[in-house]
Amino acid sequence: MALDSLFAPETVAVIGASRSTEKIGHEVMANLRTFEGDVYPINPNSEGELFGREFHASVDDVDAEVDLALVCVPAPVTPDVLEECGEAGVGGALIYAGGFAEAGDNGEELQAAVTDVADKYDITLLGPNTSGYLVPEIGLYTHFVSEMDRVAPGDVAVVAQSGGVGTALAFQAISEQRGLSAMVGLGNRADVGFERLIEYFDQDDETNAIVLHLEGTDDARGLLETCESVDTPVAVYKVGKEDVNEFAASHTGALTGDHALYEGGFRQHGVVTAESTTELLDIGETLACAAESGGPNVGVVTAQAGPGIIAADRLQAASANLPSFADTTTETIHEILPGITFEGNPVDTGRPMPEFSDVVEAVAADENIDVVLVYQVYEPAVGFYGEALTSIPDQTGTPVLFATNGPEDEIREGLADLEAAGVPAFPSVERGADAAAAVVEYARRQAKLAQDGHDGGDY
Amino acid sequence: MALDSLFAPETVAVIGASRSTEKIGHEVMANLRTFEGDVYPINPNSEGELFGREFHASVDDVDAEVDLALVCVPAPVTPDVLEECGEAGVGGALIYAGGFAEAGDNGEELQAAVTDVADKYDITLLGPNTSGYLVPEIGLYTHFVSEMDRVAPGDVAVVAQSGGVGTALAFQAISEQRGLSAMVGLGNRADVGFERLIEYFDQDDETNAIVLHLEGTDDARGLLETCESVDTPVAVYKVGKEDVNEFAASHTGALTGDHALYEGGFRQHGVVTAESTTELLDIGETLACAAESGGPNVGVVTAQAGPGIIAADRLQAASANLPSFADTTTETIHEILPGITFEGNPVDTGRPMPEFSDVVEAVAADENIDVVLVYQVYEPAVGFYGEALTSIPDQTGTPVLFATNGPEDEIREGLADLEAAGVPAFPSVERGADAAAAVVEYARRQAKLAQDGHDGGDY
C-alpha cells in the first residue's frame, strides 16, 4: 500500500539533517534513534556522522532504495528537494515547513508546485505545515518535538488536523501511560488526508480504534462515508462550534464549516463525538476494547454513594439506560453483601471491600447489562480492588470500565495496568461516566446504521 | 465563633480511638499526628498510649477543656456518647457513623436524638454520616482516609455534601499539588450545613474562594442568599440533572430538586457553576486569585495555532468576548515579533520563544482585556516560558491563566510553581479555557447583581 512508505518504511532519509540543535533537522534525527530501519542524514554542507549515521550530500547518493524522506528544509526550496526525491525513487515524504496554502497566494502556488512534483513521481505526501507522526511499534518517531519516543505502542490511532493538537494528544498519552498505534499530524493535507488514513488504519492489525481531531474539510461527505465504511470504530473531536474561521484558515488553510451539519453527519454515520482532547483519547482507549458491547444498558457499581450519584446522573443525561437488574443478580448481590447500602442500579457497596469484584462480576453477568462502570475512591489503607476486575470482561462478555480518585503518583501505575489488561481506567468519576456514555452512544449509532442500511437493527 | 470548635480547636478527643488498624478510630488517630494542638484518645477498654497520646476512659476524664470530639462509634450509641461530651463541656463534635436520617425511620429517630443532645448542650455538630474534614494550615486532618495529610495549605475552601466526593476532591488537590484552606464533607447536615460554612469561610483570612458540591437542600433560597451575601467568590457543582432521587435520598437523606431552578438561582445570585469535580477545583483555584478581573473580555496568547483555535472556540461558546486589541497593543506585538503568525486575538506566536512573555505582557496591559489565557505545548528542547509570566498580573492588574500539554511527570512541578505565584495553571487547553470562561461568567453575574441591587452596574 502507498501509505506503507510513510508508516512501514525500511529506509528513511532526513533531508536537511543538521548538527545544530536549534534546527528541526537535528531534532528529527534525534527522534529517529529508536527506529529499527536504516536512516540517512542528507546535507550537502555536512560530512561525518550524526547520531552514528553517515551524512550524504543528496538523497541520490544513497545506495539503498529510500522509502521515506523527512523534508526539513524551508518552504521555498521544497519543490526542488522533492523533485530530487522523485528522481531517486522515494516513495513517501513528510514536509514540516509552513508557508504553504495557510499563508496566502504565494504559499498556495508553492503548495501547488509541491503537489505537482508528488503527482509526477507518485510520492505519497504528508503535510506540508505539520509536526510529524509516530509509529511506536516500529520505533518510528518523525515528530520534531523531543521525548515523543516516550509514547508506547498501543491500539489507538490518533489523526489530528493540527500538528499542535496532535502533539498535545501524544503528551497526554504519555501522561496517562497509554499506548498508541500511531499519531499523525496532518497539517495542510496537500495529498494525504483523513480518508486515506482512516482506511489505512482500519486495515492495520495494531489499530482497534481511530480518533480524529477535526477543524474542517472541503469534503465532509467523503469523510463521513469513509468513517461509516470501515469496521474499526471512529471517534471525532470537531472544533469550531463558534466562528473561528479567520484564525483556522491561517492555520491549516481549512474552514471549520457548519458545526450542526457535522454533528448530524457523525450521528448518521456511526461516529461518536468528544468534547475535548482528554475525552477524545478516553473514548479511543474505551472503544478499542469495548466497542462490541452492543447496547445502551449500563450497570454501575460504586464503593461510595456521592460519586455513584454523579455517575448515574451523568450517564442518564447522556441518554444511557440504567436498567433494573434481573432478580437473580439482585439475589446474588444480597448473598455477597447481606447489609448492602443501595442495591439498585447503581449498586453501592458502602466502602471498597474484598467482595467488591464479586459484585461487579454479578452485574456484568446480568443479561440486562451491556457495559459496567465501576467506581472506587482509592483508600491507601484498604487498597485498590481494580486488579480483581480484569478477568470479568472475558468471563462474562461484558466490557468493564473503572474510575477512581486518588493521588496521581499512587494510582497511575494501577490504572495503566488495568488498561493493559483490557479495563479502560480513569482518574475521575466524570471521565469514567463519559467514556461509558460513549460506548452506549457508539452502540446506538451503529445499531441505527444497521437498521437504516439493512432494515434489520434490533433496538 | 461556634465553628471555631470545629476548625480552630486547641484540644481534640477521639472517642472510640482504637489500636485496631481496621477501625476508623485508628485511622482518625493516625491522621491527627500532624495536629498542632492536644489529642486525647478515648476508649474505656484501652490503656497506655496510641501515637504517643495517652488513652483516657471517657471524655470526662480529660483534665483540659475539650474543644472538639471526633466520634468514632456506631450510630446506636452515639446519643449517649454525645451526652457525655455535652456534660464535659465539649464545644463541637464530628460524627462519622452512618445509619441516621439516610437509613429510614429508625435512623431518623436516632438523628433526632443526636440533635436534641447537641441543642441541649449547644454542641456544634458536623455529620452524621460523613468522612470528616481537613484544615491543612493547622495540621488538622480529621478525615478517616489515610494520606489526607498530603493536602497542603491553600486558599480554596471545599464544602462537599458527600464525604466521598469531598475525598475525591481532596485527592485531586494532592494530584494537582494544589493547597486547600479546608475540605469539609457534610454528610447528613443534622446541624451544620452549607450556609454556616459559607459564612465561616467568608470570614476566614486563609480562604479566597469557596467551592461547593451540592446534591440538594431543603432551603435552596437560604443557600442562594447566603452565597450572594458573602464577599468571597462561590462556585458550585450541582449534581442531579436527571432523576437520581431514590439513590440520593439513601445517601445523605436529601433530594436533588429541580435542576433548572437551581441553575437559574445560581445565575441570579452571583454563583458560577462547574460541570465536574475537576472543573470545580479549577474554578476555585482561578477565582481565588482572578475574581477581581471585572469583565468579560479575554485575550488569548498561544504558541500553537491548533490549541489556540480550541481555546477561542470554547471561550466563545461560553459567551466570553475575544475583542480586538487596541492599536498600540498590535503595534507592540509587531515590534516584539515582526513575522508573527496570527496577530489578532488569539495571538499566535507560531512556537514558544523567549519573547513569548513580552507578548503576554502587551496583551495583559491592553485596556480592552480583562483576563489573559496563555497556551504553550511543552517542548522539552526549548523549555517552558510560563515562569516569566508570574510578574505580569501585578504589573498590569490583569489576571493571567496558563495552560499547556506535556508529560505529567515533567510539567506538574512547573504548574504548581505558577499557581503558587498567582498564575492558575492547567494541563490541557480545554481546562484553561473553561477556567477563563468561569472568570468571565463570575464577573458578568456579579455585575448583574450590582446592577439589580444598586441600579449601578456598568455593563
Crossing angle (nearest 10°) for helices A277-290 and A429-454: 60
Distance from CA of A132 to the nearest CA of B (A): 14
Residues counted in chain A:
459
Lowest mean pLDDT segment, chosen from A282-296, A423-437, B3-17, B70-84: A282-296
Residue numbers of A between 48 and 77 with CB closer than 8 Å to B: none
**CA–CA distance from A61 to each of A50, A54, A64 (Å)?**
17, 12, 9
Rg of chain A over all Cα atoms, to the nearest angstrom: 24
In this prediction, residue B178 carries a pLDDT of: 97
Distance from CA of B222 to the nearest CA of A (A): 23
Judged against a pLDDT cut of 50, whether residue A457 lies above it is answered with: no
Chain A residues whose CB is inside 8 A of the B305 CB are: 162, 164, 247, 250-252
Per-residue exposure over B409-420, b if at least 16 CB sit within 10 Å of its own CB, e if not? ebbbebbbebbe
Q: Which residues contact B204 (CB under 8 A, 6 or more apart)?
A: B7, B157, B181, B182
Q: Hey, which residues does B41 pair with through a beta bridge?
A: B14
pLDDT in tens, A343-391: 789 999 877 677 889 999 999 999 999 999 999 999 876 667 777 899 9
| HSE-CB for B399 with a 13 A CA cutoff | 30
Q: Do A309 and B161 touch (CB under 8 A)?
A: no
Three-state secondary structure string covering A168-234: HHHHHHHHCCCCEEEEEECCCCCCCCHHHHHHHHHHCCCCCEEEEEECCCCCHHHHHHHHHHCCCCE
Provide mean pLDDT across the span A224-234.
97
ipTM score over 0.90, yes or no: yes
Judged against a pLDDT cut of 70, whether residue A252 lies above it is answered with: no
Please list the alpha-helical segments (H only) found in A64-193: 78-87, 105-121, 163-175
Instruction: Count CB-CB contacts under 10 A for residue A52.
Output: 7
Residue numbers of A between 383 and 422 with CB closer than 8 Å to B: 405-410, 412
Give the separation between CA B360 and CA B302, rounded to whole angstroms: 9
In this prediction, residue B458 carries a pLDDT of: 35
CB A187 within 8 A of CB A163: yes
Give the separation between CA B126 and CA B82, rounded to whole angstroms: 12
**CA–CA distance from B383 to each of A72, B59, B411 (Å)?**
21, 58, 10
Q: What is the DSSP string of B134-200?
A: EEGGGTEE--SSTTGGGSPEEEEEEEESSHHHHHHHHHHHHHTT--EEEEEE-TT-SS--HHHHHHH
State whether residue B263 sits within 8 Å of chain A by CB.
no
Q: Hey, which residues does A267 pair with through a beta bridge?
A: none
Distance from CA of B178 to the nearest CA of A (A): 12
Residue B388's pLDDT band, with cuts at 50, 70 and 90, is confident
Chain B residues whose CB is inside 8 A of the A409 CB are: 175
Three-state DSSP class for residue A132: coil
High-pLDDT (> 90) share of chain B, %? 81
Element housing A299 (H / E): strand A298-302
CB B307 within 8 A of CB B430: no
Report residue A76 CA to chain centroid gap. 33
Chain A residues whose CB is inside 8 A of the B406 CB are: 171, 175
Judged against a pLDDT cut of 90, whether residue A179 lies above it is answered with: yes
Give the separation between CA A373 and CA A429, rounded to whole angstroms: 9
The cell numbers describing A285, all together, are 482507549
pLDDT in tens, B172-181: 999 999 999 9
* Of the candidates A79, A94, A76, the residue with the CA atom closest to the CA atom of residue A24: A94
Which of B313, B315, B351 should we substitute to test contact with A (largest number of A Cβ atoms within 10 Å)? Answer: B313
CB A100 within 8 A of CB A128: yes
Q: Do A380 and B145 touch (CB under 8 A)?
A: yes
Q: Do B172 and A304 touch (CB under 8 A)?
A: no
In this prediction, residue B252 carries a pLDDT of: 67
Q: CA geometry: angle at B125 spanning B123 and B127, to 5°?
A: 160
pLDDT in tens, B231-283: 999 999 999 887 777 767 766 666 667 888 899 999 999 999 999 999 999 99
Chain A residues whose CB is inside 8 A of the B100 CB are: none
Whether the bond between B44 and the residue before it is cis, its omega within 30 degrees of 0, is no
Q: Do B342 and A428 touch (CB under 8 A)?
A: no
Give the separation between CA A140 and CA B23, rounded to whole angstroms: 53
